[in-house]
Structures are given as structure tokens and as C-alpha cells.
């Protein structure tokens, strides 16, 4: 890797011990894009190790950077691959305004995340700067505690303070929607709960029998919210089972 004229030239070689597929290549990124690509891949590996995106499931997106020409562009992980092995050149660049792929990976075998339509909806409706789609077991189990059509209610837990604007006195409501055969089919249920004022302070939507979507204003806040929500999922479920 070398920096030339404010841009980073990234060279890579992958094989059995490397990334997703055997490949050799070179691509140029802005410094801010390079940093975001590295963070996305770092967090994919971290979330995999936590059991949130195992078995090629789950996904992530994040704003490309803070330069004016980057703010409408989002990095999105590919679908159907081992997320812990995703490398910076494997990410798609998508225009959040129209959903178009602005720059695909050089590896043409990779396909855009199945979650991309959900990501775009949360970017538009909630101003998300990054979104994690988790397949954590705790998210699946805790959604069963909410009755059909009701939210998951979180209260009397100190970790609520880890959510933007949260206090340990809050009665925090997390919407729960039903699962569908394909990811884009979740949009109707997602839009229905996003329109409800009672969920304005929630940064998470649980999908019954499936997982959760968690977001924040940027990739770092999304990481923080993801860690807080997964703690809350586990705490609520363990309290219910004791």
C-alpha cells in the first residue's frame, strides 16, 4: 500500500489463506475511503467472532467518508460469502439516493448484499450513517418474548445509557416485525414501524425468527449500539429464563 497525491494505492493478493477468492489486484481509494473500508472489514471480523454474522449471514453498510463527494455513497458488503474473510477491495460502493452501484468490486463473482434495500430505507428514514444486520441467536430468542404486533420493552437496565439519548430510567421500545422469505420483502413491515412515533428513539428493529437491524449516525456509533443492544437482548432473555 502506498499514498500518492492524497489517494491510497491498495495492492492485494489473496489465496487459500487470504480473502474470498484467489485474486491479485490494485485499486486507488481516497484516504477517508481507505480508512472506512478497513473499518468495515475489521468490524465484520469482530462481529463474526461475536457470533452475530456466522454462516455467511448478516451484513453491513457504512458511509464512504465525510468529503462532500463521499457523503451520498455507502460501502456495502457482498452477499453469500464468509464475512470474516471480506477484504477492502471486496466492498461495493452504492449511491444512497438511487440505489445504483457506483463502483463494484473488481472480483465480478461477488454480489451486492441482499440487505441493500433495507439499508437504504434506514439511511433515508433514520439518517443512518451505518447499519449492521445481525443474525445473533440472542436477537432471535428475545424476539419471541414480544407478543405478535407488540414491541420488545426494555427497562431497568443500566446499559440503556449506551444508546444515544438513553437513560437507565427509560422504557425503551424495540419494534418487532415478521420474517419473510426474502430480505427485500421485509420493507413493508419495516416502513410500518418506522412511521410510528413510539419508535423514534429506537436504533434497532428485530425480525422474528431472523435477527436484527441496528444503526447509528456513523460506523462507530453503530458498533456501540450493536454492542449495547446485544447485551440488552441477552440480559432480557436471561432474566426471563431464570
Instruction: Give the active site residue among 158, 183, 200, 221.
Output: 158
Q: Are 186 and 177 in contact (CB under 8 A)?
A: yes
Catalytic-residue membership of 158: yes
Beta bridge partners of 93: 75, 103
C-alpha cell, 4: 500518492
Q: Extract the C-alpha cell encoding 165.
A: 439519548
Please check whether residue 155 is in contact with residue 172, taking contact to mean a CB–CB distance below 8 angstroms.
Answer: yes
Could you tell me the three cell numbers for 126?
433514520
CA distance 174 to 232: 11
CA distance 150 to 154: 13
Cβ proximity of 44 and 84 under 8 Å: yes
Please give the positions annotated as active site. 158
Amino acid at each position: 500500500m502506498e499514498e500518492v497525491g492524497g489517494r491510497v494505492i491498495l495492492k492485494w493478493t489473496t489465496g487459500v489463506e487470504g480473502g474470498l477468492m484467489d485474486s491479485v489486484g490494485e485499486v486507488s481509494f481516497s484516504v477517508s475511503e481507505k480508512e472506512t473500508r478497513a473499518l468495515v472489514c475489521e468490524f465484520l471480523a469482530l462481529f463474526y467472532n461475536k457470533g452475530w454474522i456466522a454462516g455467511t449471514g448478516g451484513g453491513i453498510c457504512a458511509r464512504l467518508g465525510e468529503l462532500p463527494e463521499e457523503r451520498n455513497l455507502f460501502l456495502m458488503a457482498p452477499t453469500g460469502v464468509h464475512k470474516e474473510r471480506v477484504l477492502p477491495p471486496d466492498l461495493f460502493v452504492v449511491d444512497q439516493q438511487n440505489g445504483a452501484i457506483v463502483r463494484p468490486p473488481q472480483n465480478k463473482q461477488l454480489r451486492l448484499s441482499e440487505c441493500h434495500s433495507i439499508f437504504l430505507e434506514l439511511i433515508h428514514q433514520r439518517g443512518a450513517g451505518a447499519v449492521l444486520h445481525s443474525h445473533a441467536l440472542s436477537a432471535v430468542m428475545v424476539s419471541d418474548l414480544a407478543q405478535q404486533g407488540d414491541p420488545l420493552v426494555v427497562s431497568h437496565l443500566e446499559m440503556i445509557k449506551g444508546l444515544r439519548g438513553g437513560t437507565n430510567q427509560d422504557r425503551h421500545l424495540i419494534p418487532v416485525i415478521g420474517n419473510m422469505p426474502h430480505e427485500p420483502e421485509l420493507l413493508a413491515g419495516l416502513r410500518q414501524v418506522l412511521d410510528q412515533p413510539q419508535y423514534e428513539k429506537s436504533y434497532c428493529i428485530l425480525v422474528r425468527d431472523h435477527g436484527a437491524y441496528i444503526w447509528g449516525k456513523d460506523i462507530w456509533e453503530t458498533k456501540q449500539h450493536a454492542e449495547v443492544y446485544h447485551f440488552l437482548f441477552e440480559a432480557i432473555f436471561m432474566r426471563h429464563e431464570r
